[in-house]
Copies of this chain bind each other. A is one copy, B any other.
Amino acid sequence: MRSRDLARFAGVTVRTVRHYHQIGLLAEPGRDANGYRRYRVEHLVRLLRIGRLTALGLPLRDIPALLDGAGEPRVELLDGLDAALERQIEGLQDQRRIIAALRDSTLPLDTPHDLASALAPLEVGRSANAIRSGREQLVLLASMIAAEGRAAIAELYERLADPALAVTVQELGRRFDDLSPDTTSAEIADLAAAYLTQLGPWLRAYETVMADFTGGDARTLLAAHALEAMTPQQKDFLAVVAAKIAQERD
């Protein structure tokens, strides 16, 4: 037998055989006068056994001990392999579940599905900037909120997306997007008042949930992120809203 025959019989590539030679897993056979390797049946047997063991998921490193010594720790070995396989399978199944959930959505693949699903209707009519910023904020939020808070946050977003409120939210959002150097401070105050009237209760609920389920640095980061995407007038608006909330509290 020469390399090609051996490899074919064993169902592997010639490269694989030579790799096994390199790491000392398969003994080098004798050579013909021309330097070609000349294999004997014992090599094929060894190669086939190696193949059976790798098919179990055993690393090459462990195989010499099993083939040359006796395979003492039978059951422990098998149990270890099986447990490792089970963990791997579960991991892959998790991935499949995420993928399955994602196919039903039109949102980007990297948005957290559980929070974002309700968000799509709220994006209607918003500026590209606002949409991008909102999605980024969601990614941040999803990473920083404790697992127990996810449901609470999701429920809040769903409340916004409720048809009774969604139209209002869209309109407020559009007015926010339109804040520009032309906007007067009276108009800003106007919008802030409308915001608090319509969304005051929601904002308080949001703050409660955030206080319960996120850390202080999380909220700092979220705030920093939100500010990055805003125009000066939008920041002014935010300041007015914040002032009014503080005022209410007293």
Contact = CB atoms under 8 A, between A and B. Distances in A.
Contacts of A228: 40-42
A52 B9 contact: no
Interface string A77-89: 1100110011011
A92 interface: yes
Contacts of A9: 143-144, 221
Interface in A25-63: 40-42, 44-45, 48-53, 55-57
A152 to B, nearest CB: 20
A166 interface: no
Contacts of A41: 140, 221, 224-225, 228
A89 to B, nearest CB: 5
Given A103-B78, A228-B41, A49 B88 contact: no
A93 to B, nearest CB: 7
A50 B45 CA distance: 46
A98 B221 contact: no
A221 B42 CA distance: 10
Interface residues of A, number: 54
- In the complex this chain forms, how many copies of it are found? 2
A205 interface: no
Most buried by B among A10, A50, A109, A112: A109
A159 interface: no
A71 interface: yes
A182 interface: no
B49 A78 contact: no
A102 interface: yes
B85 A89 contact: no
A140 B45 contact: yes
A189 interface: no
Contact of A143 (B10, B56, B74, B78): B10
A221 B89 CA distance: 39
A135 to B, nearest CB: 9
Interface of A: 9-11, 40-42, 44-45, 48-53, 55-57, 66-67, 71, 74-75, 77-78, 81-82, 85-86, 88-89, 92-93, 95-96, 98-100, 102-103, 108-112, 136, 139-140, 142-144, 221, 224-225, 228
